[in-house]
Amino acid sequence: MSDWKHYQAPADALAGRVILVTGAGQGIGAAAALAYARHGATVILLGRNEKKLARTYDAIEAAGGAQPAAIPMDLAKIGETEIAQLGITLRKEFGRLDGILHAANGFSFLSPLTNQKLDEWVDMFKVNVAAPFAINRGLLPLLSQAPDAAIVHLGESHALAPAAFWGGYSVSRAGQKNLVEIAASEWDNLPQLRINLLVPGPIQSPFRLATHPAEPRDSLPPTEAILPALLYWMSAASAGQSGRTLCFAEAG
């Protein structure tokens, strides 16, 4: 495995590919969508906030990328019908799918377990694990037809190092590792398709800044620091590597 943390992607690394990015309205999702577009991909932006999606859409167009598509969708509320329709839309409008970046983040707030509610846990599990599973399953027919396809789940360091007050969020994020490893094992007859879990660790994402407000901002790598890794694991450079849990920065 090459130095994926500092991968220098060719300008055409994703040329001709269609990539779906969830959580594309802000943070790592938005930065990744722009980077994928700059490297030749047509990007499908999925998120619950239309205004934020529009900003990412405009940034891609301003950068000269291929015209993206924006699909407003709340992963906490979707069901089988919406996922089936997503597959129909992608097949009709694009005819292919070469990758998915699951960057959507389901989080309520930090609190002791005694204060957390069942519906909060259910929402976090749905956004962080259940909806991504269902999207992968629903779009598998398209992904399996691609000559080289990749699914990347963005994880969270508190899943690997559980701590007080992270409760349902940590537990739901812990499920990602099992999901990725099970899928990689079941898809071993699809060598052109890989699935991996990438844990950013402490970087300057809106989420990190919100949950660690006292942390000095300049002590963290900028969001853009993770883009080489996101390009590596989405592009053909990572072919043949599946079922891995990858930590970008040391947890703190």
Whether 36 is catalytic? no
Q: H/E/C letters for each residue in the chain?
A: CCCHHHCCCCCCCCCCCEEEEECCCCHHHHHHHHHHHHCCCEEEEEECCHHHHHHHHHHHHHCCCCCCEEEECCCCCCCHHHHHHHHHHHHHHCCCCCEEEECCCCCCCCCCHHHCCHHHHHHHHHHHHHHHHHHHHHHHHHHHHCCCEEEEEECCHHHHCCCCCCHHHHHHHHHHHHHHHHHHHHCCCCCCEEEEEEECCCCCCHHHHHHCCCCCHHHCCCHHHHHHHHHHHHCHHHCCCCCCEEECCCCC
Catalytic residue among 7, 36, 57, 169: 169
Residues annotated as catalytic (active site), given as ranges: 169
